[in-house]
Each structure stands twice: as structure tokens, then as C-alpha cells.
A = this chain, B = another copy of it.
């Protein structure tokens, strides 16, 4: 294994130290327990947006801490959920009194730990809400996940809900918007190569020299199928079709009832895309795939959307939710109404995403 690391046990700490040294104007790092938070937190009167998950998906989440996006991010070890104490202490650090929204990718460990953290924070008088991101159309009930996995829509949700919080949305409004973004967003990924988790020291999976994994997860977990390498157009077409053909998706998730201090089951249905929709198209590198290849994919995404009378009105192209050095890419389409577009366009100032400032 060849990686630019020092001690195997210290990989995440070293990265966090580098971030703290590089971006003192934007963020601070707390090391025990580990969380990244806005340099100016808590921001008076503002709902705090917090996310987190295993490390290895950089710049998500720590790289999205800053004005207009996240107030806090809780990094686990690589591809490992952070712990409830990280989430709780982060919430305490960033809560201004207006409450904390946890944006939670749908992986069993993340979901469970953010629930524990929400209960603890709530018991301490911090208004909290957990909203799940479960946008991966590739598989259902896979390794690490009951239901669909949370992938690319997470980045878009953090940007959009972060901007709404900045604009004065209260906790319920932020939660509603985050639910909407999740319901409007669908993603699918593919892998060309595996990545190597430092602690494992060997590829997470074996992929022959002429095969790809369609529907791969961001931890290298299995997707839909292995297939022979195909052209960028063929691969993009398969993925966009999966996303655009995806039927209504109904499931029940647990949300926190702040009035009664209990978890309640909420049934959510994501409606399929339809002609006339406007979308934000997000073409993401899994890490090792160069941006040049993403542009070829993007051109095809636009063509395929237009053929269905779906208009791509914004885009994000680059490595934003990665799997270490994995080669491959994911496509996310997010149906965007005026509210979503307004907050997408709003200023953001983070290490990983910056505009308008």
C-alpha cells in the first residue's frame, strides 16, 4: 500500500490537523472527540447544520464546514461511523439556541449514532432534528444499509439547507427543505478500480482489468452488477436511465418528535422525475477519476435529460463525495424548484465549495 500517510492509527487526525492549519479563517478542529466546526460558531440566531460520517469521502463533510453550508462535521475513522459523543459535543458547540439539524446519510451505524446523539442533545435542551439522505437508486438493503444508501444528494442538501439556515429558516423549515431535497434527489455510482482503506492495506474489492462495478457504494460495497468496461456514453446512459426511470419510492423513516420526546415513524414517498422538470446535475468523481472524464460524462447527462424534456439548470462537476483514491464516478440529479435554486445559488465559503464570497 502506497499512501501519503504517517502512522496508520493517525490518518484522520493528520488530515484534520492539516485542515485546521490551512483554513483557520473558516473552521476549527476539536480533537477529543473529533469534530470540525465553523470558526465563528455558534452563529447567533441561526439553526446549526451538522453532518458527519466515516472519513475517506473528502471534501465531504469537514470540507463543507463554513458560511452557507455546515456548522459542524463529525468524522469517523475511514469508512467508519462517528460516535454519538462526537455528534453530541459538536451539536453543543455549534448550537446558538436555534437548534441543530443533523443531516444523516443512510448507513446503519450513522443512523443509530445520530439518533443517540439527538436523544442526548434533546435531553440537554437542544432542539434537534435528524433528516435522512437515502438517494442511491442502485440497491436497497445492501451492506451497511437498510433501505437506500445516502450518497451524492448529501452534498447538495448540505449546500442548499446550509444556505437556508443562513437566510434565517428555523429548524422545522430547514428540516422540511432537507426532506424535500432528499426526496427530489437520486443518484447512482460506478467503480473502475477499488480503493484501499489504510487500516486494511489491500483493495476493498477485486475488479478485473476489464470490468467495472455498476451501482457501487461509496465504501466500495457491492452494487448491482459487474460488467465489462464500456464506453463513457454507454455507462452514463445506463446510470441516467436508472435514475430517471426510478419509480415512486416509499419507505418509513424515524424522525424525532420534539414535542413528545419520542421517535415517530414517517412515511416518505419520492416521486419520479417527469418531463418539464428542472434539475441540478452533479457529476462526481469517486476520487481517482480525473475531472476531464467527468466532463465527457456531463455532456451525455445533459443530452439524455434533454431527450426527456428535463432541463439541466445548474451543475456541479468534480470530486466532492469520494471513496479515497477509487476511480469511478457517480451521477446525482436533483429536481430543483425556485426555493432549491435560490439556496443553491446563495454564497458559500468552505474549503470544498466556494462562491459568492
Give me the interface of A with B, judged by CB distance under 8 Å.
Answer: 2-6, 11, 14-19, 21-22, 55-56, 58-59, 63, 192-193, 209-210, 212, 229, 231-233, 235, 287-299, 302, 315, 317, 319, 322, 324-325, 327, 329, 351, 354-357
For A299, what are the chain B residues with a Cβ–Cβ distance below 8 Å?
14, 17-18, 21-22
Contact between A2 and B210, CB atoms less than 8 A apart:
yes
CA separation between A287 and B2, bound complex, in Å? Answer: 15
Q: Min CB distance, A285 to chain B, in Å?
A: 9
For A235, the chain B residues whose CB sits under 8 A away are: 4
User: Which chain B residues border A17 with CB–CB below 8 Å?
Assistant: 295-296, 299
A14 to chain B, nearest CB (A): 4
Question: Is B212 within 8 A of A296, CB to CB?
Answer: no
Total copies of this chain within the assembly: 2
A324 touches B5 (CB 8 A): no
- Given contacts A17-B299, A355-B357, list 17 more A-B pairs with CB under 8 A: A2-B193, A2-B210, A3-B293, A4-B232, A11-B292, A14-B299, A17-B296, A19-B295, A21-B299, A22-B295, A22-B298, A56-B290, A56-B292, A58-B290, A58-B291, A290-B319, A356-B357
Q: Are B293 and A233 in contact (CB under 8 A)?
A: no
For this complex, 30 residue pairs linking A to B, each with C-beta atoms less than 8 Å apart, are A2-B229, A2-B327, A4-B235, A4-B293, A4-B297, A5-B293, A5-B296, A6-B296, A14-B232, A14-B295, A14-B296, A15-B292, A17-B295, A17-B296, A18-B294, A18-B298, A21-B299, A22-B299, A22-B315, A55-B292, A56-B290, A58-B290, A287-B290, A288-B288, A288-B325, A288-B327, A290-B325, A325-B327, A355-B355, A355-B357
